[in-house]
């Protein structure tokens, strides 16, 4: 009698699993669930693009059901590009650009939604859905789906008074404070962390004032044996102030003042004052879509060091200057952000640093996207390094800043999606959601 071997049994089971997984792909279109085709084929196909913000897409798909959602811009009739920037009171201004494609080519429109700092995530998503619905109406009106749409208007309960200038009892000032802490460990390791911050800001069309205070405390304890243990303590705090005056659509003038302490960088206390000027090639009103600025600062810095430095200094006063060029653009094909910064001490041009930062996300063709984030810094101004050097523990635990001529980071990726062009279905079972 011949017995079936365990390997053959496992192979048969594996074939059954593979067949079960492939079987749904072999079904005819008429066998698909009704939920896949609940929105007519002739409905608008829209592609929602959010390069710098988070959206609850499941909520949007649930609330706006008269359109078809697609995964790629090339399949869409309308491309909705949503860009954001912070408001003076800590809220968020979202700019929604409706870009017509195919038969709607050239029919573009732009709407805005402004949220307050106190708005919940639900308040924000309901507000954005309302704006998206309004923005889609001119396109939906040119399709057969218009027969199932209705426009409603909520009449005010009483006659509105004549518009008056808004009265702000806080005079445009907003404040934010936070305290955070964490504990974790095991039998041979313990880590404690505590941080706190406070910020105040006042932003108008003419002035921008920001004040912030931050502090942190880290303690790590390592137990190697009963007679050998090591405790690492790091403290840092920073106080900073920024004042900017708008001069025109392109020019601004301002300055910053700051003070900070860092055990990692060997600074007992640092005071820094730097006035400067900034020019934007594009009007500042277009900053959510494109920005090209040149910023020049000249300042003076007083430093007291925790330990004597490699230059035999315990304190010193140094004049400095910096030039920063920033370029950011967000378009339907993707987004690019880059920044070049150079700074040096005026008493010694040999002490400088230069940094290049860049990020890019490009849709190469249907379904294929390329993304990259990278920065590199060339350092020649590590004037705070302690003379005595660093112990083995300080090197291994990164407790002290070490001498280096550069540092860098790079991340590169490709993503490709294929299959059904539709992205309508919401299925939150087991915590998952659609692409």
**Residue of 118, 13, 30, 401 whose CA lies nearest to 234:** 401
Burial class (CB in 10 A: 0-12, 13-18, 19+), 370: middle
d(CA 386, CA 309): 4
Element (H, E) at 256: strand 251-262
Q: Per residue in 175-228, pLDDT tens?
A: 889 999 999 988 888 999 999 999 998 888 899 999 999 999 999 888 877 777
pLDDT 10s digits, 82-119: 888 877 667 788 889 999 998 899 899 999 888 887 77
Closest among 38, 44, 37, 34 to 144, alpha carbons compared? 44
DSSP 8-state class, residue 32: S
**Distance (Å, rounded) from C-alpha 157 to C-alpha 318?**
65
Q: Are 67 and 43 in contact (CB under 8 A)?
A: yes
The answer to whether 91 touches 68, Cβ cutoff 8 Å, is no
Which helix (H) or strand (E) is 238 found in, with range? strand 228-246
**Run means of pLDDT, 10 residues per run, the chain, 435 residues:** 56 59 47 51 85 78 87 89 79 88 90 83 87 91 83 69 63 88 90 94 88 92 78 89 93 94 89 95 84 95 92 93 93 88 93 93 84 92 82 60 83 84 67 48
pLDDT on residue 14? 63
Q: HSE of 71 in the Cβ direction (CA atoms, 13 Å)? A: 17
- The predicted pLDDT at position 274 comes to 95
Q: Look at residue 162 in the predicted model and tell me its pLDDT.
A: 52
Q: Can you give the pLDDT at residue 223? A: 83
- Eight-state DSSP code of residue 15: H
Tell me what pLDDT residue 35 has.
44
Instruction: Supply the DSSP string of 266-325, one letter for each residue.
Output: TEEEEEEEEEEEEEESS-GGGTTTEEEEEEEEEEEEEEEESS-BTTS-SEEEEEEEEEEE
Residue 342: closest CA among 294, 309, 305, 301:
294
Set out the domains of the chain in order of their start, with CATH numbers: 42-145 (3.40.50.10070), 247-416 (no CATH)
Q: What is the DSSP string of 98-155?
A: EEE-GGGTT-EEEEEEEE-TT--HHHHHHHHHHHHHHHHHHHHTTSGGGGG-------
pLDDT of residue 1: 46
CB-count exposure of residue 272 (10 Å: 0-12, 13-18, 19+): middle
pLDDT at 250: 93
Q: What is the pTM of this model?
A: 0.67
List b or e across 224-255, with b for residues whose CB sees 16 or more CB atoms inside 10 angstroms: eeeeeeeebebebbbbbbebbebeeeeebebb
For 158, left (φ over 0), alpha (ψ -120 to 50), or beta?
Answer: beta
pLDDT of 3: 47
């Amino acid at each position: 009698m011949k017995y079936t071997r365990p390997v053959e049994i496992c192979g048969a089971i594996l074939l059954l699993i593979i067949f079960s997984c492939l079987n749904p792909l072999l079904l005819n279109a008429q066998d698909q669930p009704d939920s896949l085709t609940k929105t007519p084929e002739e409905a608008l196909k829209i592609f929602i693009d959010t390069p710098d913000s988070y959206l609850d897409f499941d909520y949007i798909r649930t609330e706006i059901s008269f359109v078809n959602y697609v995964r790629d811009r090339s399949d869409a009739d309308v491309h909705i590009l949503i860009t954001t920037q912070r408001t003076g009171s800590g809220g968020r201004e979202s700019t929604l650009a409706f870009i017509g494609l195919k038969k709607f080519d050239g029919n573009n429109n732009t709407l805005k939604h402004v949220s307050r700092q106190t708005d919940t995530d639900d308040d924000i998503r309901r507000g954005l859905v309302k704006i998206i619905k309004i923005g889609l109406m001119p396109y939906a009106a040119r399709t057969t789906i218009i027969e199932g749409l209705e426009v409603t208007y909520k009449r005010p309960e009483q006659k509105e008074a004549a518009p008056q200038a808004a009265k702000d009892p806080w005079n445009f000032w907003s404040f934010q404070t936070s305290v955070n802490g964490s504990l974790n460990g095991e039998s041979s390791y313990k880590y404690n962390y505590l941080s706190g911050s406070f910020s105040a800001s006042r932003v108008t069309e003419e002035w921008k004032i920001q004040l912030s205070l931050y502090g942190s405390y880290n303690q790590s304890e390592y137990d190697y044996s009963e007679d050998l243990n090591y405790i690492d303590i790091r403290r840092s705090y920073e106080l900073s102030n920024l004042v900017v005056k708008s001069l025109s659509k392109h020019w601004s003038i301002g300055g910053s003042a700051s003070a900070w302490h860092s055990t990692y960088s060997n600074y007992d206390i640092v005071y820094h004052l730097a006035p400067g000027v900034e020019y934007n090639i594009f009007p500042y009103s277009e900053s959510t879509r494109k920005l090209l600025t040149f910023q020049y600062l000249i300042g003076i810095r007083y430093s007291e060091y925790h330990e004597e430095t490699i230059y035999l200094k315990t304190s010193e006063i140094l004049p400095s200057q910096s030039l920063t060029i920033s370029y950011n653009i967000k378009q339907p094909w993707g987004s690019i952000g880059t920044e070049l910064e150079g700074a040096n001490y005026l008493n010694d041009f040999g002490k400088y640093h230069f940094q290049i930062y860049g990020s890019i996300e490009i849709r190469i063709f249907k379904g294929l996207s390329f993304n990259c984030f990278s920065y590199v810094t060339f350092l020649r101004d590590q004037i705070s390094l302690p003379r005595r050097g660093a112990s083995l523990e300080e090197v291994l635990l990164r407790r002290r800043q070490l001498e280096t001529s550069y540092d860098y980071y790079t991340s590169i990726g490709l993503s490709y999606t294929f299959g059904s062009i539709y992205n309508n279905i919401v299925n939150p079972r087991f915590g998952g959601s659609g692409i």
